[in-house]
Amino acid sequence: MEKLTLRKISFGSYIKLFLLGGVSLGVVIGALLFIMALFGLPVTSNIGTIEFEGIAAGFFALLIVPLALALVFGFFSLFMYPCFRLMLKIFNGIKIKAFIKTPLNSGIDNDIQDSSFV
């Protein structure tokens, strides 16, 4: 695992990061709702005039909640990107640890220590 200093991030990468975060949180919430429905707890899902209850609602939540949260996270990330870039400038980047996969013949050493990630 290498230490990197993140000084800039492209808009597309920032959006991907937030979409992945939204889907991940949605899967966790959807799975919890599905498990609650399996144990017979009251779970309902509504879309317009259509209402699901019980296991059908839990299964529906397992499919729809990740999509809905990805859309919400993606929407808000549009407004947060300029603030994030400003914070990176103010704090001179953030240090992160990451696994870096590089092409075999790229000439980049895999033992990068505290390098600048642009």
Residues 33-51 have pLDDT tens digits of 999 999 989 988 888 888 8
- pLDDT > 70? residue 112: no
Q: Note if the pTM is more than 0.85.
A: no
Q: How confident is the model at residue 113 (pLDDT cuts 50, 70, 90)?
A: very low
- Candidate from 54-63, 76-85, 104-113 with smallest mean pLDDT: 104-113
- Average pLDDT, whole number, for the chain? 85
CA distances for 106 relative to 8, 63, 103, angstroms? 22, 40, 5
Task: Give the residue, 59 or 108, on which the prediction is more confident.
Answer: 59
- Token code pair at residue 94: 């953030």
Are 11 and 42 contacting, i.e. CB atoms less than 8 angstroms apart?
no
Domain limits, the chain = 2-117
Beta strands in the chain (DSSP E): 2-6, 44-47, 50-53, 94-98, 115-117
102 is written with which tokens? Answer: 């590089």
- 101 or 34, greater pLDDT: 34
User: Burial level of 108, CB count in 10 A (0-12/13-18/19+)?
Assistant: exposed
Residue written as tokens 């103010």?
Answer: 90
The residue with greater pLDDT, 32 or 100, is 32
